[in-house]
A and B are shown apart, each in its own frame.
Chain A
Amino acid sequence: MRGTDFVSELEAAVEGAVIGRELETLDPWLAISPEKLLETCRWLKESCEVRFDGLQCITAIDWLETDPKKASKVEWEPHTELVYHLWSTKARASLVLKVKLPRWKDDQPGQLPEVSSVEGVWRGADWHEREVFDLSGIRFLGHPDLRRILCPEDWDGYPLRKDYEMPLEYHGMRGR
């Protein structure tokens, strides 16, 4: 979705939601403040002229360089990024939302970062959020049934994090 009109409308409707933008790239995206995510999504689906009625995909990207030699050269601080791919069936247009979260809540390893669930906006977010929780370890507040979906329920760790290590043993089976 291109065009700045639409962004200023969003800024007027949900104050402080847009904290960054890149509209001239391959897939134009908006950086959304995590506190305003739910409100933004609701506006995009229900009030915006181009109704973004489809949530296609939620992706979590773990920005952590585990190689100490390379870690000093990267320009970013370690963080987790949530990417939402939205789609409008009416306008045949897509929009990307990016939400920046810490890797751990309050920088306490083991405390999952939290963001509000958009399950109430798009029902399809249910399984996508469960998958992100399962594989990347992000807690979606307000999700009705946040359980692991692909891994077994007693699995340990979040496999798509960059510092994940396979368990040595799982129920008597060798892991590595």
Chain B
Amino acid sequence: MSQILDEDQRIIEFDVRTDEMLVNMGPQHPSTHGVLRLVLRTDGEIVSEMEPHIGYLHRCAEKIGENLTARQWIPYTDRMDYLAAMNMNLGWALTVEKLLRYQVSEKARHLRVLITELNRIASHLVGMGAYGLDLGTFSPFLYAFREREKLLDLFEEVCGARLTYSYITVGGMTADLPPGWLQRCEAFLDQFEPVIREYHTLLTTNAIFVKRTANIGVLSPEMAIDYGCTGPVLRGSGVDIDLRRDGESIYTAMYDGYAFEVAVMKDGHYPRDHEYPAVPRDAVLGDCWHRFFVRMLEVVQSMDLVRQSIDRYSQCKGPLGEPLKLAEKLPAGDAYLETECPKGQMGFYLVSDGTSIPWRVRARSSAFSNLAVSPELCRGCLIADVPAVVGSLDVVMGEIDR
């Protein structure tokens, strides 16, 4: 009976003559995560073509970098992915250290893991909450921001800023942790752990959420690699790559001895290091649901890493070390380094002519490549699915436009 009804409806839909229409979404559309403009060519409810227009937040960060010393550019990296500024700082600091062949103290390395993994949690919380907003549910956003607020308080104690930290810098950190901070961080983790179950009830297993995301915007692993997609977008398609494990030695050395499993579906199942809800029946590897789920797994994974780094950091007896001079002279040459940021692999490229001011700096944005694939994912979907697809890529315009 229901089958006949379905067919009938389709006939009716084809009978109604529709005209092709250009629909403009943004740049102020609430579901576009900032100033992103999408131009949709639609036929009725079906999107035949989608084209993102970017650049509304372009601030010439690369050009500015040619006029500052390497360490002075750190605050500009804050303003790329402003939801994960610690990870941006780390990417640039490591690139400069790679060119200088400089290695920070062991204590600084553990502190870097601690702080960037905390920031990854904060970033994924926004990603999760905002994704709920995209799909028309408001409450997960509040739940996510309630916890993120506590994280921002922790960051504020460390460096005085809530969003643009500039905490990790070339050669180390700008300051050590304040007294009692580790206890407060542990208290946060203890309180946060059970909350994740709430999130799974609110979104991951929510029937409406699953209907809106499962089997929508399916990205094949081949296409993901071809477009240069990285991070949770790539892992959501089942490609087992995480630079914390597979990256360059200067970066992976930070994670030496840490136990973690890459959040990716292997042989039909996700890591079983914790209790997770089951994958819904309708979900297909590479769809919006899987991209979302990988982020949720990474929140738990980052919590484990933070706990491990707290232990290691407090066992380190030596000093933290001082950062390098503001106008440290750079050797002539170039260095490129990618790090695993919450949104994907963020790369920095530094070309030096032997002075303290770089000749050229380049930021390879992960969200830029992740967004580039969105026209492919939106072709043939419904208008209402466009925010679901774009939201699942978790883009930040500050990083795309630089």
Contact = CB atoms under 8 A, between A and B. Distances in A.
B54 A150 contact: yes
A27 B345 CA distance: 17
Nearest to A96: B336
A111 B208 CA distance: 55
A27 B95 CA distance: 12
B280 interface: no
B251 to A, nearest CB: 12
B143 to A, nearest CB: 35
B226 A83 contact: no
A8 interface: no
Contacts of B321: none
User: Taking chain B's interface residues, is the majority helix, strand, or loop, or is none over half, making it mixed?
Assistant: mixed
A150 B347 contact: no
A56 B347 contact: yes
A85 B246 contact: no
Contacts, number: 77
Contact of B345 (A26, A56, A92, A149): A56
Interface stretch (B77-85, B198-206, B257-265, B357-365): B357-365
Interface string B323-343: 000000000011110100000
A53 B241 contact: no
Contacts of B372: 124, 126-127
B225 interface: yes
Given A122-B226, A159-B63, A56 B360 contact: no
A54 B336 contact: no
Contact of A26 (B54, B62, B98, B227): B98
A27 B58 contact: no
A16 B117 CA distance: 47
Interface residues of A, number: 31
Given A92-B246, A150-B55, A124 B369 contact: yes
A124 B226 contact: yes
A27 B248 CA distance: 10
A128 B336 CA distance: 16
Interface residues of B, number: 35
B349 A85 contact: yes
A146 interface: no
A121 B158 CA distance: 46
A149 B54 contact: yes
B246 A53 contact: no
Contacts of A61: 351, 359-360
Contact of A27 (B60, B334, B360, B401): B334
A53 B349 contact: no
Contacts of A89: 225, 239, 241
Nearest to B51: A145
A26 B99 contact: yes
A26 B55 CA distance: 32
B349 A150 contact: no
A150 B58 contact: yes
Given A54-B225, A56-B338, A85-B347, A25 B333 contact: yes
A55 B334 contact: no
B228 interface: yes
B58 A151 contact: yes
A122 B227 CA distance: 7
B92 interface: no
A44 to B, nearest CB: 14
B131 interface: no
Interface in A1-43: 25-27
B313 interface: no
Contacts of A62: 360
B368 interface: yes
A59 B401 contact: no
Interface string A49-92: 00001111101011000000000000000000001010001001
Interface string A144-156: 0000111110000
A123 interface: yes
B63 A160 contact: yes
A24 B220 CA distance: 36
A59 B362 contact: yes
Contact of B60 (A26, A94, A152, A159): A159
Contacts of A55: 228
B333 A26 contact: yes
Nearest to A121: B226
24 contacts: A25-B333, A26-B98, A26-B334, A26-B335, A27-B336, A53-B225, A57-B347, A57-B349, A59-B360, A61-B351, A83-B334, A85-B347, A85-B349, A85-B364, A89-B225, A89-B241, A124-B228, A124-B372, A127-B368, A127-B372, A135-B62, A148-B55, A149-B54, A160-B62
Interface of A: 25-27, 53-57, 59, 61-62, 83, 85, 89, 92, 94, 96, 122-124, 126-128, 135, 148-152, 159-160
Given A94-B336, A160-B62, 6 more contacts: A27-B336, A53-B225, A62-B360, A124-B369, A150-B55, A150-B402
